[in-house]
Structure 1
Amino acid sequence: MSFYTSLSGLQGSQTELATISHNLANVGTNGFKRSRVEFGDVIASTTTKSPNQLIGSGSYVKSIRQQFAQGGLQQSQSSLDLAISGEGFFVVKPNPNTTELAFTRNGAFSVSADRFVVDSQGATVQVFPVDGSGTVVATGLDDTVSLRLPQTSGTPKATSAAKVSVNLSANASIPSADPRWTAASPYAFSRFDPNTYNYASSTVIYDSVGNPNTLTNYYVRETAPGGTNTNSTWKVYSFVGGQQISADPTQPTPPVALDMTFDSNGVLQTPAGPTQYATFTPPNAAPQDMTVDFSIATTQRPAAFSIIAQSQDGEPIGQLQGVTVDSSGLVKASFSNGTNQALGKVVLAQFANPQGLRQIGNSYWSVSGLSGDATPGQAGEGGYGNIMAGAIERSNVDITEELVGLIAAQRNFQANAKAIDTETQLSQTIINIRS
């Protein structure tokens, strides 16, 4: 009988050794929870057996109980690395084609090629849908959605009006009067030759699809005050990208340059208001009409050339620039056009009996009959804990504690093996007596 009693001890010690080995093997696994073996004693008792004469029949493994104590938090540089300070679980969907959910404490998330927020196994993070103000609009597990980062935000608006104010130096020379130009090589404006213009200014405008284009204006002095002439005249050649646009909407080709006139005090006389340019077509966009207003604050002073002010009314599409997650789990995306968008609130789940969850590997758990159904909630609510962005929860395995347990399990195994050896010797002695 003692053979089987000691054998049960050996089997229990083997189970404990295997459990401790599994714990030690996952010291570096994010979100891992250690397990502990719990034993029970085996007693064969009958109503006719005296309680003072009962002898146990060994031990058995009652359960391998998971320990959900908080693991240490390690800081990281990623805003999508999340840790739960509390008892909740992240909810992920391992397969987007099914409704099956898994639960994890491993918050090392990243962005997939199709812009879903996923863990290292490719499971998508689940969030509650929210409205524009970040208020949750549905709170059931069936209502959760996979978190996906939008690539753009907003609606593009083509520039229809631009304003450019510059100071053109009153001391500037007239490029066409430069003696280097001869009959054999006459003067002609070229945006590629700085000797053919005095100054250039650039303004970013937007086309119908929100792409930025550069409006470049080249300023060329035509005349200076002299004799009975007290005015100064300039020509402005305007280009959108590499395409010259005409300052006369009735004559798109060949493009016409804009004429500017200043009086003897450097005050702009013409144009007196916005100039309507001929329709032009940016690359890969719709035809565009635009006015440019040089009449506000443009001057001709002895000071150096300079841009006084410039503006335009177009709007680009916002490109994704960053993602943040606050302590309540609200995910917000920021875009290059200055807008922010609430994308969802990270779902946390609780269980009546977390120790009853079924381990399915990769720091995942699934619901079982022992755990009870998942109760979804939000960070900051009772018992769910808070979310910490830029941190990862490490394994809660204590190496020192596990090594001490490993030594104890080894001693238990050796003691049970010794008991079997002793029983073998006793049996052999009895057999030898009979012979």
Structure 2
Amino acid sequence: MSFYTSLSGLQAAQTNMGTISHNLANVSTNGFKRSTTQFSDVIASTASSNPNQISGSGTVVKSIRQQFSAGGYAQSTSSLDLAIAGDGFFAVKSAGDDVMFTRNGSFSVDSDRNVVDSQGNKLQVYPVDGSGTVVATGLDSTIPLRVPQTSGSPQATENVALTLNLSANSPIPAESAAFDAENPYAFDRFDPATYNQSTQTTIYDASGNALTMTNYFVRNTAAEGDSGTSSWSVYSFVGDQQLSTGSAPEGGAAPMTLEFDATGNMLSPTDAVSFAGFTPPGSTSQQPLTLDFGSATTQLSSPFAVSSRSQDGAAVGQFEGITIGENGTVTASFSNGDTQPLGKVVLANFTNPSGLRQLGDSTWASTGISGEARLGEAGSNGFGSLMTGAIEQSNVDITEELVNLIAAQQNFQANAKALDTANQISQTIFNIRG
């Protein structure tokens, strides 16, 4: 009988060493949870057995119990790296829609723009509306977190507004040798001597493509007459295409004319001026476009300056980044300034986490022992808080595991010695019979 008693001790010690070795092997595995081996003694007795004379029949492994204490946290530069400070698991789904749970929050974006773990399992979030409010709950209502590539719809620019000051001290370019005084349309945008100032505004065509609108300001007359009025010409270009407010006497494009009184206030135009015949590059249809200098544009002695600039077009926003708030709300930002809530990270918890079935890769599945998953949000009752830019490491303590390994090895050696002793006793008995 002592053979089987010692053998059970050997097997139990071997299992314990295997469990400890598994812990040590995963000391650097993110989200890994250590296990401990639980033993139980074996007693073979009957109702007629004397309770004072029962020696026992060895030991068995009762369970290998997982320890879900928190591991250390390593800082990260990725906004998709998440860690849970407290109770809870991330919910992920495989390609076959199998639901799994993990504490390893090292996520990335795959080729289909889904946020996935290292095994390609998709991170699950609650769907939200435009304000970030959750619109559906429950495990069947969760959706994979997917990063959109663009945001918004393109809108062609139809109205441009500028407010500026044209310096009253600016000379008339006609005094330059490069300017033909007898030809008021001798302006040349490639010759800075033919204009006083210029400014650029980004506008958009119907496809959302960015175009550059450049306005050149040419002083025509200084303050003259009893009224003290003066005028400027504004030549407008989109790329290499000159815009026109009408037909020039020479058949070219007519510039816009600004008039100011003696105090520097603009007299005309009083409304936005429409350009004629503007066709964006690559387009076959004309695009309406107006330019409005408003009522605050002035001609003062101070230097040329643009105080405000606006236009009503919009480009399609390209994805630029993603942020995850402490409450789990995922927000994407785009190049056109848009922000879009994509969902809220789902956290799951269990009545008995130790009953979860290990699937490997720091993932678990629910069982009848663990109970059904209870879903919630980060920071709510029964769930830990969410940390971004951090990853939870293994909760294995190398020192503790090495001490446990020494103890398990000694236990194994002690049982092996007991087995050897029982063998020697049996050999002695056999020799006596011989």
- TM-score over 0.5 (shorter chain): yes
Identical aligned pairs, as a percentage? Answer: 59
Greater shift, 401-410 or 349-358, is seen at: 349-358
Give, as a single letter, the amino acid of the residue that structure 1 aligns with 2:258. M
2:254 corresponds to which of 246, 253, 256: 256
Structure 1 match to 2:346 = 347
The alpha-carbon distance between structure 1 residues 403 and 127, as it changes in their structure 2 partners (threshold 3 A), is same
1:174 corresponds to which of 157, 172, 175: 172
Give the whole-Å Cα distance in 2 for the aligned partners of 1:81 and 1:407: 36
Give the whole-Å Cα distance in 2 for the aligned partners of 1:227 and 1:355: 95
Structure 1 match to 2:21 = 21
Structure 2 residue 230 is matched with structure 1 residue 204: no
Matches within 5 A, 1:281-300: 281-283=279-281, 287-300=286-299
The alpha-carbon distance between structure 1 residues 227 and 276, as it changes in their structure 2 partners (threshold 3 A), is closer
Give the whole-Å Cα distance in 2 for the aligned partners of 1:308 and 1:49: 102
The alpha-carbon distance between structure 1 residues 229 and 135, as it changes in their structure 2 partners (threshold 3 A), is closer
Contact 1:279–1:290 under 8 Å retained in 2: no
Shift of 1:13: 1.1
Structure 1 match to 2:300 = 301
Q: What TM-score results when the alignment is normalised by the length of structure 1?
A: 0.89
Shift of 1:362: 0.8
Structure 1 match to 2:189 = 191
Give the whole-Å Cα distance in 1 for the aligned partners of 2:132 and 2:162: 40
Matches within 5 A, 1:348-387: 348-387=347-386
Give the whole-Å Cα distance in 1 for the aligned partners of 2:339 and 2:92: 25
Shift of 1:180: 5.4
Contact 1:270–1:295 under 8 Å retained in 2: no
Aligned pairs, number:
430
Structure 2 match to 1:118 = 116
Give, as a single letter, the amino acid of the residue that structure 2 aligns with 1:126. Q
SS at match of 1:220: strand
Shift of 1:200: 0.4
Greater shift, 144-153 or 219-228, is seen at: 219-228
Give the whole-Å Cα distance in 2 for the aligned partners of 1:411 and 1:191: 92
Shift of 1:140: 1.6
Shift of 1:147: 0.8
Structure 2 residue 396 is matched with structure 1 residue 390: no
Give the whole-Å Cα distance in 2 for the aligned partners of 1:180 and 1:380: 72
Structure 1 match to 2:69 = 69
The alpha-carbon distance between structure 1 residues 210 and 249, as it changes in their structure 2 partners (threshold 3 A), is farther
List runs of 5+ in structure 2 lacking aligned partners. none
List runs of 5+ in structure 1 lacking aligned partners. none
Structure 2 residue 23 is matched with structure 1 residue 3: no
SS at match of 2:399: helix
Greater shift, 313-322 or 9-18, is seen at: 313-322
Give, as a single letter, the amino acid of the residue that structure 1 aligns with 2:114. F
Contact 1:238–1:257 under 8 Å retained in 2: yes
Give the whole-Å Cα distance in 2 for the aligned partners of 1:400 and 1:63: 23
Give the whole-Å Cα distance in 1 for the aligned partners of 2:315 and 2:98: 40
The alpha-carbon distance between structure 1 residues 297 and 382, as it changes in their structure 2 partners (threshold 3 A), is closer
Structure 2 match to 1:221 = 219
The alpha-carbon distance between structure 1 residues 226 and 99, as it changes in their structure 2 partners (threshold 3 A), is closer
Structure 2 match to 1:330 = 329
Shift of 1:162: 1.5
Deviation string for 1:49-74 (max 9, x for gaps)? 32222232221111111111222333
Structure 2 match to 1:129 = 127
SS at match of 2:288: coil
Shift of 1:226: 7.1
Give, as a single letter, the amino acid of the residue that structure 1 aligns with 2:24. L
Structure 2 residue 107 is matched with structure 1 residue 109: yes
Q: What TM-score results when the alignment is normalised by the length of structure 2?
A: 0.89
Shift of 1:264: 4.9
Shift of 1:120: 2.0
Structure 2 residue 94 is matched with structure 1 residue 94: yes
Deviation string for 1:270-313 (max 9, x for gaps)? 43321101242334566421110135233333332222332223
Give me the CA root mean square deviation: 2.9
Structure 1 match to 2:145 = 147
